Amino acid sequence: MQPGPVRHVIFTRTAIQLVAEVRLGRSGRKRSVQINYAPLPHHGQIGRRPVLKGRRALLHEHGGAHLYPPMVDTSIWSLNGTSTKAVIADSAESPACSLGMGVWFASRPFRACPGRPTGRERSEMAETILLVEDDRNVLRTYAQLLRPAGYLVVEADSGSDAERILRTSSVDVVITDLRMPRMDGVAVLRIAKQADPEIIVILMTAYPTVETAVEALKASASDYLAKPFSVERLLAVVESSLEKRKTNEAYRVLRSQLSRSFSLNGIVGQSQLTLKLSDEIRHAAAGKANVLILGASGVGKELVARAIHKNSSRHARPFLPLNCAAIPENLLEAELFGYERGAFTGAQAAKEGLLEAADGGTLFLDELCELRPALQAKLLRALEENAVRRLGGLKPIPFDVRFMASTNRDIHEDLRQGRFRQDLFFRVNVIEIRVPALWERREDVPLLAAHFLEACSKGSGKAIEGITPEAMERLMQHEWPGNVRELKNAMERAMAYASGPFISVQDLPESILTATERQARFSSYREWRGQTLERLEKEFLEKAIQEQDGNLTLAAKALGIHRSTLYRLLRKHRLLSS
């Protein structure tokens, strides 16, 4: 028996078909042999009993076979009653792999090429590119250019072959010629988008015109290559398209994570400090005691106070905030306690103060330490008696108010210096909550950035699809002296300056770029940032799948992403085996 070339190899999600032509015995009669490796679990370990069409049962063992490199320059070396052996090579430059097969009770396991990852490892590490080109020599050349860059390349020399692969296999990128017989590149593009809406399709043509470029863009092509093009150009387009999709997918997962994360009345985050703060808010909301909220300017102290009120038994009654530093001293007393008609010049009619107006609800005094000592004493008296006497009035008016206050100053230092009354401090500080600065909970920066972008985009008319990794790195590096307020302003500015679908480094405020320029040189920080984001994303995906009892279709639907997108993310985080 003389070996013949393998005519074609078909990889599907459920099987591999290898069709070869051999010459039998002395007669030299040709015989077509088809070997079906089945069943083949998608993303699973192969270990079932395949069938040699006609008579033999074979066993083939390796992982991720549907993503195994296409068999180029492959020949059947022998075919008899005991064994079959094929030599597989990706290209002329790559080392050959030996694929040993035998009858099912005497099979030999698959041996990977030295220095190359196994099928499962490759499926987790590399993206799969489908090349569609009717000129086989050109097709082979493109494949040999892409494989050394680390991609898994599948070849199709017609639109119909590409359609079969797209409908049965997992593909990340399609690079297709525009003009082909029977089925052109635009038809392949539409089929690819039907199979996977997030798939990247790059059209190439030797007849570039404005009309064909417009047609490609209308059909949602990711890019358009005019022949001839350099190797660098081809690789750059592929890498750029993959990077854009990764950015978009990461942002979509972030948005899904944002909608599913614990958000207590605007307090967004999943860091340990944020979860601890949320627990403190719950405990405070369950009681009736006064609350003192400490934290730097811009951390969201009023948000914490509102969250306590909204989750308390007083949520149906008013929440009245007052910034003690924003009102002149001579007006602050009137705002708090109210006044009677004629109490001072200009008092044309009686007016209730905030302590009366908040009856049954919550009064929140921001920047409490700005109160002058005389007003501190009057406030203490009102809190002790649960009654207020208006300016110019004689009769005390009872009230039922939960009192909350905040300050960005070191109140303990003010106590030592005598600037704040100790008795008022103990009256207010029944429950003390410290709100962490943003630099202490950097893990929440991506979620907060997405939260503010979503809020900004509603009225801007812009559709932002994500934040580039470089821009997110700068956001993670920044120390945020202005805390959450500064981040919100930065996202509003970035939204206004963004000229494309992604927020880039150039869209960020100059103050952030200047402050992070020096830190950008340290790779250790970038590694920490990357590991942190990867860990959070992986934990979120695991939780989403667990909530759906391992059903990936339901998990993808719950996350608001396509199933193929979920598979890519699971492959990225090596979660498929689990």
DSSP 241-277: HHHHHHHHHHHHHHHHHHHHS-EETTEE--SHHHHHH
Question: What is the overall mean pLDDT for the chain?
Answer: 75
**Greater confidence, 38 or 127?**
127
Which of 339, 347, 351, 336 is CA-nearest to residue 401?
A: 336
CA distance 464 to 130: 29
Which of 156, 218, 195 is CA-nearest to residue 9?
A: 156
Concatenating the DSSP letter of every residue in 101-156 gives EEBGGG-----PPTTS--HHHHHHHS-EEEEE-S-HHHHHHHHHHHGGGT-EEEEE
In this prediction, residue 126 carries a pLDDT of 76
CA distance 183 to 508: 45
Average of per-residue pLDDT across 411-432: 94
- Cα 227 to Cα 32, 192, 205, 249: the distances in Å are 38, 22, 6, 30
Secondary structure of 488-547 as H, E, C letters: HHHHHHHHHHCCCCEECHHHCCHHHHHHHHCHHHCHHHHHHHHHHHHHHHHHHHHHHHHH
Average of per-residue pLDDT across 481-502: 92
CA distance 455 to 537: 22
Phi, psi (deg, nearest 5) at residue 323 = -90, 110
Q: Which two tokens stand for residue 135?
A: 């000129």
Reduced to 3 states, what is the DSSP secondary structure of residue 236? helix
Average of per-residue pLDDT across 67-79: 30
In this prediction, residue 470 carries a pLDDT of 87
Alpha-helix residue ranges (DSSP H) falling in 386-522 = 411-417, 422-428, 445-460, 469-477, 483-497, 510-517
Domains in the chain (CATH in brackets) are 6-116 (no CATH), 126-251 (3.40.50.2300), 253-262+439-572 (1.10.8.60), 267-436 (3.40.50.300)
In percent, how much of the chain has pLDDT > 90? 30
CA distance 354 to 337: 7
pLDDT for 205-233, tens place per residue? 887 777 777 777 777 888 888 888 888 88
Residue 175 CB neighbours (<10 A)? 25
In this prediction, residue 492 carries a pLDDT of 92
- Cα 260 to Cα 267, 539, 545, 548: the distances in Å are 13, 13, 13, 14
Q: Exposed, middle or buried by CB within 10 Å (0-12, 13-18, 19+), for 206? A: exposed
CA distance 329 to 375: 9
Task: Examine the pLDDT at 321 and tell me if it is beyond 90.
Answer: yes
In this prediction, residue 577 carries a pLDDT of 57
- Cα 498 to Cα 3, 484, 509: the distances in Å are 61, 21, 12
The region that residue 342 occupies, defined by phi over 0 for left and psi between -120 and 50 for alpha, beta otherwise, is left
Q: Which two tokens stand for residue 341?
A: 């008609």
pTM of the model: 0.57
User: DSSP label at 202?
Assistant: E
Reported in sequence order, the residue ranges of 133-242 that DSSP labels E, i.e. its strands, are 152-156, 173-177, 200-205, 223-226
In this prediction, residue 520 carries a pLDDT of 53
pLDDT for 499-533, tens place per residue? 888 899 999 999 898 887 755 554 455 565 566 66
Task: Examine the pLDDT at 485 and tell me if it is beyond 90.
Answer: yes
Contacts of 312 (CB under 8 A, 6+ apart): 285, 286, 362, 402
User: DSSP label at 182?
Assistant: S
In this prediction, residue 69 carries a pLDDT of 32
- Cα 100 to Cα 3, 79, 162: the distances in Å are 16, 12, 29
pLDDT for 171-190, tens place per residue? 899 999 888 888 888 889 98
